[in-house]
Structure 1
Amino acid sequence: MNRRARSHLLLLLVVMLAVAGTVAWQRWTLAPIDTAQRQQQEQQWLAVLPADRYDNQPLRSPLPLVEPQLRHSRLLSGFQARLDGTPSAVLLRVECQGYAGPIELAVAIDPQGRLLGIQVLRQQESPGLGDQLAEPTHHWLAQFSGKARSDTPDPAWALKRDHGEFDQLAGATVTSRAVIDALQDALRYFDEHRLQLLGQAPHE
């Protein structure tokens, strides 16, 4: 074997070792990365549930969702929180259409049909608007906590400028209306499917 052939063989071996090392590294790190991403996602989703509301792992308790296409939004998934073996909340993942693209929300509802919390999981609004919507310190979403269809009539689920009950996100009429409609959709779905979601008779 001449020198040129040996050089080519050596180069080929180096390339093969580099590829094998890269593949081995990816496989070795894939599981920890997936675990970290899943834990981060779970923390984000469960932020809508007060810690004293559950003692199970809600995201390990998925719910079958019938007719997930709602009036103004779409249900992506649902989960049940339990405390001492009793259903204590339902967590719905809802997608609606914002001004610039889809907005994905985590919506927690207690057994009486009241909103426990709302968390923005994903949004494509402009940076300033997206920060106002998703950043908890702006408190826009806080005005919906504790609301239920039983004490907030359907016409009230609108902006004050539309003769409703809720403040508008500054400079974001379309986004504000989309989120309000999605929350009303989620509460309506809960009320109509309470038996399936909680295993209880409809609340009187």
Structure 2
Amino acid sequence: MNRATSVVIVLLLAALGIGATYLAQRSSAPRIAAEQRAIDSRRLLDLLPADSYDNQPLEQPLRLDTAVLANSTLQGGYLATKAGQPTIVLLRSQSMGYAGSIDLLIAIAVNGKLVAVKTLRQSETPGLGARIADWPNAWLNDFAGRSRNEPADNRWALKKDQGEFDQIAGATITSRTVINAIHDALRYFDEHRQQLIGDTSHE
């Protein structure tokens, strides 16, 4: 076998290898994307009780325009359903904390009661306000079961501000920010309940 023939064979084998790799990547791409969506879904939706929905909420976004509220901004939302009926609305909220923006995912049952809150992003002081990102989060869990008027509007505040709630130790501003954002979301849900629950097809 002469040198030219050897070079041609090597090039053909290389081309075949590249082609096989390309085809393998193309065929596995949908599976990889599906697995990544499942991971993202679990990370975002682990604040919901497992038996509270049977759809894929992240694939059922609400037609919700960005809404600037009194203390926060709503940047979208999702609808969880079970047997075709709405069960929980998830609202993505952003507000300014001590060191930067705090992004929350706020889950509200169709009866207007808070199910859970999860921090998606924050840049608060490590060891203080940054504890808002711990999961599970005992401080955030204390808000479960609350609604727009439970407690009354003027009690949606820290105890040091004559309100109902304790603060995260050493993180007064972070605590105020989150309390106000949660109350904003509950108020928005109460005022737009029909739009939020009825704005997405449940089939």
- Assess same fold via TM > 0.5: yes
Q: Indicate the percent of aligned positions where both proteins have the same amino acid.
A: 49
Q: Quick check: 2:109–2:115 contact (8 Å CA) kept in 1?
A: yes
Partners of 1:168 and 1:103 lie apart in 2 by 16
1:145 matches 2:141: no
Partners of 1:30 and 1:178 lie apart in 2 by 41
Following superposition, the deviation at residue 98 of structure 1 comes to 1.0
Which one-letter code corresponds to 2:175 in the other structure? S
Q: Aligned in 2, Cα 1:146/1:50: closer, same or farther, shift over 3 Å?
A: same
Unpaired stretches in structure 2, ≥5 consecutive residues: 1-14
Partner of 2:62: 63
Partners of 2:162 and 2:99 lie apart in 1 by 25
Partners of 2:46 and 2:118 lie apart in 1 by 7
Unpaired stretches in structure 1, ≥5 consecutive residues: 1-16
Partner of 2:177: 178
Partner of 1:113: 112
Partner of 1:188: 187
Q: TM-score, normalised by structure 1?
A: 0.79
Q: Quick check: 1:68–1:75 contact (8 Å CA) kept in 2?
A: yes
Aligned length: 181
Q: SS of 1:75's equivalent? A: strand
Partners of 1:45 and 1:130 lie apart in 2 by 21
Q: Aligned in 2, Cα 1:132/1:126: closer, same or farther, shift over 3 Å?
A: same
Partners of 2:146 and 2:158 lie apart in 1 by 15
Give the CA RMSD over aligned residues. Answer: 2.5
Q: Aligned in 2, Cα 1:175/1:32: closer, same or farther, shift over 3 Å?
A: farther
64-73 or 97-106, which deviates more: 64-73
Following superposition, the deviation at residue 137 of structure 1 comes to 4.9
Following superposition, the deviation at residue 31 of structure 1 comes to 6.3
Partners of 1:124 and 1:40 lie apart in 2 by 23
Partners of 1:177 and 1:99 lie apart in 2 by 10
Where does 1:1-204 land on structure 2 (aligned, <5 Å)?
35-66=34-65, 68-199=67-198
Which one-letter code corresponds to 2:138 in the other structure? H
Partners of 2:142 and 2:55 lie apart in 1 by 28
